[in-house]
Structure 1
């Protein structure tokens, strides 16, 4: 068994075992789970108490306890006593936990723009700075220019292989209860399966042929065919395996997930993914700006507007 991850207290980065899952694989294993995303969404809205999540979500005690424990173990939440007699605890977001807001914002925006049907109305977004309804625009952190997948060059770094970048096969991905909670159903179809994660990443890196998907992912042909069929049914990929406009629009979620993963987790061999912005030549760091006022977005400056 590999040693458990250790946290470097000086920089609060989790050191991963050599040769194991790289930061991308760890992040996808965590954030590809619907319950985890739901818990984090409510945490960012201010929920801290166990009972608060139980009231908000159709979740069992066992599942909530397990997910909160995992989020605490990986440093996204701090379990803090707020009462001694009887002893009671709350779960506070850490900097690492608050850092997932661009990922959730990207999912929110993508589903709002591209998925017309919901079991519950998805709220719109209002930017507190300009007071307007907006969409987040992905930009380069160095030069501020808008960025799409074709504006970047690069790929796998020293720890970046397909095998190491995939979430563990034992990671639980799907949950009918979470789906009934009304959270972003098409997003979980894209990232809620280990093969879907890898195939989507390969597509963004330019893979276009069935045989190439099969070879790069070392995946069973039946699984590749099933995932490609699912992507086509969702209209994120064409029948000839090219990303559609809807598929390309998911790019901000992908790059913010990679950025968050490599900010907080570290493989000893080096980065899993390395990208450079073609326009300015700087290492790419994803940021969002408001589509209306062009001010850089901050997590605490966005309001939900009922649909």
Structure 2
């Protein structure tokens, strides 16, 4: 594995840095197309309704963050290619839970078994499926973990045009700094308004606005608990956390730390094929029309 990025003590941790980088729809779409073979500026311009200025800015940012190497075009680094599990989890969640897409999502076929599949979140140590509701993970914030350090810097993100959004609801969840923090708090069991405000340490107006947004999306219910749709976002969260902590490391230690109780190992997310049960790897995930 190529070198990780060291983060200074007391500053934003791996989660905050990653949400600031990947919580952007254009960046996700650029990575998607790169994983599908785009390497040249003209490739992205032909595939995405994106302006030259926005594309150039995002490619520069992703290159500076170590996801691309610039040479004869743009080549994914190991860090960039490793984002495939995050993209695959988003693809599957949007396919299942977001019925109205501007573009039709392709089906997924596992090259090894030749069958359509859904990715199944599993423990990489014992290969047991892990759900948000089965209470087999123990842990939470690690040495560099806190709500303040896990929230990305405030940035002004340009949302894509209406016909661009392969990830419209994912972007609503992780592309806003307060929505991302609120989703994280909900997965840690928070469901009272006062507790959300305490965790986010922001104004009641902001908390109320984000809760309304997540309720409107069907991610939170009237009781502010995660719905089935919200709980199904768990693989995206865990794959994002895994990617973040493989490539960004704070001086004090990890931002989040979990142990898988059935096997006793530290939890690291992996994905299996729902059809054959084999471990998924990037080269064996095939989109079909």
Q: CA offsets, 1:164-187, max 9 Å, x none?
A: 101101x2334143x431312111
Q: CA offsets, 1:206-260, max 9 Å, x none?
A: 1010000001110211111111111111111111111011100000000110110
Question: Is structure 2 residue 247 aligned with structure 1 residue 261?
Answer: no
Question: Is structure 2 residue 54 aligned with structure 1 residue 70?
Answer: no
| Bigger CA radius of gyration | 1
Aligned residues: 287
Shift, 1:159, TM fit: 0.6
The equivalent of 2:98 in structure 1 is 115
The equivalent of 1:86 in structure 2 is none
> Within 5 A, what are the aligned runs for 1:247-286?
247-286=230-269
The equivalent of 1:165 in structure 2 is 150
Q: CA offsets, 1:261-291, max 9 Å, x none?
A: 0000111011100011121111001001000
In 1, are the aligned partners of 2:144 and 2:253 still within 8 Å (CA)?
yes
Unaligned residue ranges in structure 2 (runs of 5+)? none
Picking from 139, 163, 168, the partner of 1:154 is 139
Unaligned residue ranges in structure 1 (runs of 5+)? 1-9, 83-89
In 2, are the aligned partners of 1:159 and 1:271 still within 8 Å (CA)?
yes
3-state SS of 1:72 partner: helix
3-state SS of 1:67 partner: helix
Picking from 205, 230, 241, the partner of 2:188 is 205
The equivalent of 2:7 in structure 1 is 16
The equivalent of 1:293 in structure 2 is 276
The equivalent of 1:87 in structure 2 is none
What TM-score do you get using the length of structure 1 for normalisation? 0.91
> Within 5 A, what are the aligned runs for 1:116-135?
116-135=99-118
Supply the distance in 1 between the matched residues of 2:159 and 2:243 (Cα, whole angstroms). 24
Shift, 1:17, TM fit: 1.8
The equivalent of 1:92 in structure 2 is 75
Question: Is structure 2 residue 210 aligned with structure 1 residue 227?
Answer: yes
Supply the distance in 2 between the matched residues of 1:176 and 1:304 (Cα, whole angstroms). 23
> Within 5 A, what are the aligned runs for 1:24-43?
24-43=15-34
Supply the distance in 2 between the matched residues of 1:12 and 1:194 (Cα, whole angstroms). 27
Question: Is structure 2 residue 126 aligned with structure 1 residue 143?
Answer: yes
Supply the distance in 2 between the matched residues of 1:151 and 1:246 (Cα, whole angstroms). 20
Shift, 1:151, TM fit: 2.0
The equivalent of 1:85 in structure 2 is none
Supply the distance in 1 between the matched residues of 2:165 and 2:25 (Cα, whole angstroms). 10
3-state SS of 2:100 partner: coil
In 1, are the aligned partners of 2:26 and 2:160 still within 8 Å (CA)?
no
Deviating above 4 A after TM superposition, structure 1's stretches of 4 or more consecutive aligned residues are none
Shift, 1:118, TM fit: 1.1
Picking from 36, 42, 62, the partner of 1:45 is 36
